Chains A and B, each alone.
Chain A
């Protein structure tokens, strides 16, 4: 709470808003209700997430009887609530937000959102908005009516009343149940609609990317009967990772920003700050800049640690900026980002849209202009999706659905830049949105989402983000291509199986019956027809034991004995384990298990099964089988040992990185290695560190604290 009040700031642009309400999503009647719902739901999700509460949100839209285009919106959440003294600021003044000056991924960013709703309501109906807030540490709820003085950017409060939870009086607008949360009731000129751009669609999309939230929606006509209703229950109890504020990362920083940071540099006048102010500044202003890296940057910029940040000349600032790009830095900490994670994207998509195939990718976080960002993409294919229309594009920025200006949005442009024909979708002329029974979800998580306008509907161009999305698209595209290829192969194999196992024996039986002849052995005929080794794999969810059973059947339909080692992919990760695995085998790499099979005589088959626990139904829907051994297997891929070696290398690297992250205090030898890479003589630096021994930076010497504190 402390941070909240101190972080809140305000600015006076109420008048500006009145003139520019179209920028803020209140330009048309159908859109206004969506915007209002969106602002409210965004805030509820943000607040719940910050306070580690599993959100339960309800939205009700009523058509007001006897009035054309007049809607009453009632939203309620189970978030932390807002203390009484802040209510008027949150709902009654623009640019009052808790996160206006922090770098972190949140939905709300500008402190305009909910006040805009109150203002729109006021402007179109002249009526105040009723807010009920209940915070946990208070026994009663507070109800306030908020109107706005749009000239003075001030709230006009009325009807303030405390009431206890058993005191429910609908007529007076007093209604509260629960320990904490916010309820907003507002009246506005707006039009309720259905379709691609509707409250319903917005909430559906929201539920896809917020699998941890329960969302209920009801719309009523003038008579009070329900005309639309939906409920998206939560599919995971896992809250999005708590996000942290971070410092800017030097890579991609703009000169203006750097100048501002240098000018405002807050360097202590004693200790390290006094001795080496520039180095202190670098270490404490930016993320990913360790002591040696700071030294590295300084020498590459031709400066000295003793330079004073605010006294640097423009040339020197330029040199410093250039030096940033010459130094290898670890990526900025990504705990400020909250990706949905591919597994939950898969779940969210599958629950909202029926399909046959889901492929998802969560890319590693990257940095653009000093801001970390992360791209996630999900592609679903098949099922009930229409095949002859442009695919559905579901765009999200920081878990917020984007429903307008699809064509002008960076996310769409990146999608369109892929040659989808190569991945199995129809893409006439290789331009525009591809066609086919598919839907693509694109999520950009970023500490600084850049929109083309304040309406926050389309993302503005950014090469780094564009490239990341493209790469993610290619990845899911490859998944789709693989899937389609496999489907085809499978169908073909299935046909062959039917041929030799069903039709051929019937031909034989019929022929000998007609001719009154002796039976002949069919095995050689089958071998002749198939002349290959076939493999069939399948995954089944076992309800009682809650494991996913993988079975792989392999048939030798050749004239020779065959010996193979089979390798199977499986979703190895924390909490996911192999439960049954009779054949043993061994782990070859992360997510890749190998079994050496007994020799398969001609005309025989064998089955390999294993079960995997720690997953829920549908988590694991497709896997790949590789093999080692002579001769091809239809239905499996020959193991490419180079790729395997590469996998192992990556794994090793990841393991190393993890170690670093886990004991955020590297052993002292690590320092020496780092020092060695610094061009200035290491002794000097060590001496300097020793010299200013007043404040030993514990983080560096293995006490286990993060270096940022």
Chain B
């Protein structure tokens, strides 16, 4: 795996300098400075057969300093590069939000919004083929929670390795996944489970914990907290690759959950440059499916116009190209219904662990 090969500090700095060098070279030729980067839209994302994930295609765009907006972007990029180099040198890290505030001091290179600084950091990842972690930039977003009989080593602030079992050494809220889950920070030690179940909502996660589902079904439970953070997706990927554990995804039954699944399995547009590093193509969608809404007669809501729009967009999304997904999407459109995970409570609190999940897991060969 090329991208999963971590870069040394020197390589990171060298790659960052490449960006400044492109600008410098152009200026010394009497031309407007530029920054070349892949086009980051849906139609420049393609399926990488070899890796089994969706990645940016070959389309490149050149951001050149002939308009004020682009010129500002270049200047900001240079400021970020300088800032990252400083952090690497002093072994510090900062959150993206902190960087946004630090940029206040950058004069004309200051960001207009947090979103702008996040996007530019992503741009730099893409052009330098480095990771945000290499840049010492931390996301604000929460990592996932995990519960189950699996053991990790985590290097703490003092630089010591701590051994943590995510069933015995944690409270009810589970083990909190840090933002950096690379090998310098986390080691996967051992486990005694058969699969990982990734769950969308906190309520459902807590329900399964309370009902002891992890023990009954020999699995690790993982709370995604909505659209999963990079570190969440990365640790799932690692557990899948290093431990060979299947990743089973249990979400609400609506167009947005479909997208969460797609980002887990195939990658997201925003992170398509590191898809092979984050995506788990073998992940399986357990539910709630469109069939489930009918089969279990679940309490449901009518689709909103935004839902319908999202579903229609998904029909042409390469990540949903296979027949099963096309059917599910079409079915949801014709049912004009969506349902939440927790609607299963219609049949009692234990219905999900005693009936629904056992039945669904049996379907894919993971039943008891």
B residues near A508, Cβ cutoff 8 Å: 27, 33
**Which B residues are CB-close (under 8 A) to A503?**
65, 68, 71-72, 75, 108
Asked if residues A514 and B20 are in contact (CB atoms below 8 Å), the reply is yes
Which of B77-85, B163-171, B349-357 lies at the interface with chain A?
B77-85
B17 engages A529 (CB within 8 Å): no
Q: How many residues of B contact A (CB 8 A)?
A: 27
Q: Tell me which residues across on chain B come within 8 A of A517, comparing CB atoms.
A: 24
A-B contacts, 10 of them at CB < 8 A, read A495-B68, A498-B68, A499-B67, A503-B75, A504-B71, A507-B23, A511-B20, A511-B24, A513-B82, A524-B30
- Choice from B21, B32, B81, B109 contacting A529 with Cβ under 8 Å: B32
Count residues of chain A with CB under 8 A from any CB of chain B. Answer: 24
- Are A510 and B27 in touch, CB under 8 angstroms? no
Known contacts A515-B17, A522-B27, A525-B27; is-contact A510 B65 (Cβ 8 Å): no
Instruction: Establish whether residues B67 and A514, one from each chain, have CB atoms under 8 Å apart when the complex forms.
Output: no
When the two chains form their complex, are residues B20 and A496 in contact, meaning their CB atoms are under 8 A apart? no
Give the complex CA separation of A511 and B16 in angstroms: 11
The reply to whether the CB of B74 lies closer than 8 angstroms to some CB of chain A is: yes
Provide the residues of chain A in CB contact with B98, threshold 8 Å. Answer: none
A512 to B78 CA separation, bound complex (whole angstroms): 10
Q: Which residues of B66-122 are within 8 A (CB) of A?
A: 66-68, 71-72, 74-75, 78-79, 81-82, 85, 107-109
Q: Which of B75, B82, B107 contacts A507 (CB 8 A)?
A: B75
For residue B28, CB closer than 8 A to chain A, the reply is yes
Tell whether, in the assembled complex, residue A504 and residue B65 are in contact, meaning their CB atoms are under 8 Å apart: yes
Contacts A499-B71, A514-B85, A515-B17; is A507 near B31 (CB within 8 Å)? no
14 extra interface residue pairs, beta carbon distance < 8 Å, beyond A514-B81, A525-B30: A495-B67, A498-B68, A499-B66, A499-B68, A499-B71, A503-B65, A506-B108, A507-B27, A507-B71, A507-B78, A513-B82, A515-B17, A517-B24, A529-B32
Q: A520 → chain B, closest Cβ, in Å?
A: 4
Tell me the chain B residues, 13-39 only, with Cβ under 8 Å from chain A.
Answer: 17, 20-21, 23-24, 27-28, 30-33
Q: Do A528 and B32 touch (CB < 8 A)?
A: yes
* Chain A positions within 8 Å of B65 at CB level: 499, 503-504, 507, 529
A630 interface residue per 8 A CB criterion = no
Collect the chain B residues with CB atoms within 8 Å of residue A507's CB.
23, 27, 33, 65, 71, 74-75, 78
Q: 8 tightest CB-CB pairs across the interface, nearest first? A: A524-B30, A510-B78, A495-B68, A503-B71, A520-B28, A514-B20, A511-B24, A499-B68
Chain A residues 480-525 with CB under 8 Å of chain B are 495-496, 498-499, 502-504, 506-508, 510-515, 517, 520, 522, 524-525
Expressed in whole angstroms, the minimum distance between the Cβ of B261 and any Cβ of chain A is: 41
Complex: chain A residue closest to B21, CB-CB: A515
Residues in A whose Cβ lies below 8 Å from that of B27: 507-508, 511, 520, 522, 525
| Measured CA separation A104–B9 after assembly (Å) | 92
A513-551: contact bitstring with B at CB < 8 Å (1 yes, 0 no)? 111010010101101110000000000000000000000
Q: How far is the CA of A527 from the CA of B31 in the complex (A)?
A: 9
Interface of B is mostly: helix
* A497 to chain B: closest residue by CB: B68
- CA A511 to CA B34, docked complex, whole Å: 12
- The distance in angstroms between the C-alpha atoms of A496 and B70, with both chains bound, is 12
Known: A506-B109, A508-B27. A514 touches B68 (CB 8 A): no
A512 to B79, CA, bound (A): 12
Expressed in whole angstroms, the minimum distance between the Cβ of B93 and any Cβ of chain A is: 20
Contacts of B71 in A (CB 8 A): 499, 503-504, 507
Given A510-B75, A513-B82, A514-B78, do A496 and B68 touch, yes or no (CB 8 Å)?
yes
- Give chain B nearest CB distance to A531 CB in angstroms: 9
In the bound complex, how far is the Cα of B82 from the Cα of A495, in angstroms?
26
Give Cα A515–Cα B20 distance, bound, in whole angstroms.
7
Cβ contacts under 8 Å, B20 to chain A: 510-511, 514-515
CB-CB under 8 A from B81, the residues of chain A are: 514
Within 8 A of A (CB), among B251-277: none
A496 to B32, CA, bound (A): 13
- Separation of A524 and B74 alpha carbons in the complex (Å): 19
Task: Select from chain B the residue with minimum beta-carbon distance to A516.
Answer: B17
CA distance in complex: A504, B24 (Å): 11
Q: Scan B42-80; emit 1 where CB is below 8 A from any A CB, else 0.
A: 000000000000000000000001111001101100110
Q: How far is the CA of A139 from the CA of B31 in the complex (A)?
A: 87
Chain A residues near B109 (CB-CB < 8 A): 506, 510
B34 to chain A, nearest CB (A): 11
Q: How many whole Å from B120's CB to the nearest CB in chain A?
A: 14
A69-91 CB mask vs B (1 if < 8 Å, else 0) is: 00000000000000000000000
How many Å lie between the Cα of A244 and that of B307 in the bound state? 76
Report the nearest A residue to B13, measured CB to CB: A514
Closest residue to A509 on the B side, CB-wise? Answer: B78
Is there an interface contact between B23 and A511, defined as CB atoms closer than 8 Å?
Answer: yes
**What chain B residues lie within 8 Å of A502 (beta carbons)?**
108
The verdict on A512 contacting B24 (CB below 8 Å), with A504-B65, A507-B71 known, is yes
Q: Are A525 and B75 in contact (CB under 8 A)?
A: no
Q: Across the interface, which residues of B come within 8 angstroms of A496, CB to CB?
A: 68
Most buried by B among A496, A506, A507, A513: A507
Tell me the smallest distance from the CB of A492 to a CB of chain B, in Å. 9
A503–B75 Cα distance when bound, in Å, is: 7
In the assembled complex, how far is the CB of residue B70 from the closest CB belonging to chain A, in whole angstroms?
9
Chain B residue nearest to A524 in the complex (CB): B30
A375 to chain B, nearest CB (A): 44
Chain B residue nearest in CB terms to A518: B28
Select B30's contact among A498, A506, A515, A528, beta carbons within 8 Å.
Answer: A528
Distance A503 CA – B70 CA, assembled complex (angstroms): 10
| Contact of B108 with A511 in the complex, beta carbons under 8 Å | no
| Docked CA distance A311–B218 (Å) | 126
Residue with the highest number of chain A CB atoms closer than 10 Å, among B17, B27, B28, B108: B27
Shortest Cβ distance from A496 into B: residue: B68
CA distance A681 to B30 in the complex (A): 82
Contact A515 B32 (CB under 8 A): no
Q: Which residue of B lies closest to A559 (CB)?
A: B30
Q: How far is the CB of B112 from chain A (nearest CB, A)?
A: 14
Chain A residue numbers with a CB within 8 Å of B68 are 495-496, 498-499, 503
State the CA gap A578–B277 with chains docked (Å). Answer: 73
- Which chain B residues lie closer than 8 Å to A529 at the CB level? 32, 65-66
B82 to chain A, nearest CB (A): 6
B304 to chain A, nearest CB (A): 29
User: In whole angstroms, what is the CA distance A400 to B20 when docked?
Assistant: 69
Considering the chains assembled together, what is the distance between the CA atoms of A527 and B27 in angstroms? 12
A495–B72 alpha-carbon span in the complex (Å) = 11
B32, A525: Cβ atoms closer than 8 Å: yes
Per the bound structure, the CA–CA distance linking A602 and B30 in Å amounts to: 14
